[in-house]
Structure 1
């Protein structure tokens, strides 16, 4: 487990759903602090807004899946961010989306 300031680099289906959603939000929020391409920034910003909502709101699993699917669609619009560290956060966020949608988390 990482500390509160460093986002986890990979998803972990052994952790609770809420933890993975928080990691997703942290990765996307971290890209806002980095100098990324303008087009990438637009997609990442919208994805981050949804991720923040999903991470901070108690939602039914079907709603979480729908919103994480939307995040995944937005992230698919970004090939590269123009910044190596942001690209790493982007890839981690993509992996978390897949993990969340393909894992049965204990409630």
Structure 2
């Protein structure tokens, strides 16, 4: 597994989630997205922790995003979709790298 690739995916995930913070999204979606952004931000800052910790945190983000159906903002919805895709790629990379 390439740590550089995982770093890039985690940073990309954070960027998509952070982009939703500036959008006029539904209040319930905002709460879940904000928490997901915080967890992704912790991962994106500094060197990545052990793979087991990364898996756990990405799993937490996955659970948080499962609570977001629609944001009522097209741009935010696009970022959420991109965040989900990036998350899937990161989880697949961890799965295949083990």
Shared fold, TM over 0.5: yes
Runs of 4+, deviation exceeding 6 Å? none
Q: Which stretches in structure 2 are left out of the alignment for 5+ residues?
A: none
Matched, 1:56 2:57: no
Partner of 1:19: 8
Q: Which has the higher helix share?
A: 2
Q: What is the RMSD computed on CA atoms of the aligned residues?
A: 1.8
TM-score, normalised with respect to structure 1 = 0.81
Deviation, 1:18, is 0.4
TM-score, normalised with respect to structure 2 = 0.88
Alignment coverage as a number of residue pairs: 93
Partner of 2:56: 66
Q: Which stretches in structure 1 are left out of the alignment for 5+ residues?
A: 1-12
For 2:90, which of 65, 76, 100 is the aligned residue? 100
